[in-house]
Amino acid sequence: MCLYCESKRVDRRGLLRLAGLGLAAASLALAPGAASAAAGAKTSLSPDQALAALKDGNARYVSNPQVCVADLAKSRAGVARHQAPWATIVGCADSRVPPELLFGGLGLGELFVARNAGNMVDTATMGTVEYGAEHLGTPLVVVLGHERCGAVVAACSVVTKNARFPGSIGPMVAPIVPAARAVRGKLGDFVDNTVRESARRTARRLASASSILSHLMKDGKLKIVAARYGLEDGKVEFLA
């Protein structure tokens, strides 16, 4: 990786080093037959430390983004037999919203990512998040909506125009419709209000619908937050 990026990553790396990322000596207590990718030490970052690292990375991305050539071969070899991601991102499939980049140019093995149009949680995504938290030990889950999301625009048009969409697109946006109905008529931009409301609802659903996640949250081992990414300014806003 270029020297500029190496210098900019010092603070984050220091945080991870102090927290003992990937260096914990304790082995995992995994169920028989668990995937080998889950074997080995988990990150020892706390939920708040992981959140701080994401915020720091996004601040670098906004203030002075750089394009660097990473030593991908070395990175790939380092995580080929074991992964210890420190955050899970439920993001949108939109090509303009790659989590690893907008959180500061993170490398292989750092984020566990599930992406689909509208950053929703179906069975597969729920299982992905549960696996990341339970077996890989990610202490943070971020549901990341974004400005001018196409799936949200479609859901809003269902509410305002009774729009219909072909194939699987209609069922795909249907879970966003309740969020759109809830904020219709409120001050501000309808689509952006829906982006925020949908992300919040999805974060709450993760916390309430999964016994695995709720148990980890109760024990203080997991935090689930909603966020909104701005296409124009590159900033990630973490939502209350």
Under the banding of pLDDT at 50, 70 and 90, the label for residue 223 is very high
Residue type present at position 211:
S
Say if residue 166 is exposed, middle or buried (CB neighbours under 10 Å; 0-12, 13-18, 19+).
exposed
How high is the pLDDT of residue 39? 62
What is the pLDDT confidence band of residue 228, given thresholds at 50, 70 and 90? very high
pLDDT, position 70: 66
Q: Residue 45 burial by CB count (10 A; 0-12/13-18/19+): exposed, middle or buried?
A: buried
- Domains for the chain: give ranges and CATH numbers: 3-24+36-239 (3.40.1050.10)
For the cut 80, the answer to whether the pLDDT of residue 193 exceeds it is yes
Closest alpha carbon to 180 in 150, 201, 149, 152: 152
pLDDT tens-digit series, residues 37-95: 456 789 999 999 999 999 999 999 999 887 666 677 888 898 999 999 999 999 999 99
More confident residue, 192 or 14: 192
Q: What is the pLDDT of residue 18?
A: 35
Percent of all residues in the chain with a pLDDT value above 90, rounded to a whole number: 75
Say what the pLDDT of residue 22 is: 39
Alpha carbon distance 123, 127 (integer Å) = 6
Taking phi over 0 as left and psi of -120 to 50 as alpha, with beta for the rest, 102 belongs to alpha
Region 85-107: what's the mean pLDDT? 96
Q: Please give the pLDDT value at position 19.
A: 41
140-146 and 87-91 strand pairing? parallel
What is the C-alpha to C-alpha distance for residues 236 and 230, in angstroms, rounded to an integer?
A: 6
Write b or e for each residue in 120-137: b if 16 or more Cβ atoms lie within 10 A of its Cβ, otherwise e.
bbeeebbebbbbbbbbbb
pLDDT in tens, 10-50: 344 444 443 443 333 333 333 444 444 456 789 999 999 99
Phi, psi of 113 (to 5 degrees): -125, 130
Look at the block and give the residue holding tokens 């125009």: 161
Q: Which residues pair with 91 in a beta bridge?
A: 115, 144
Mean pLDDT of the chain: 87
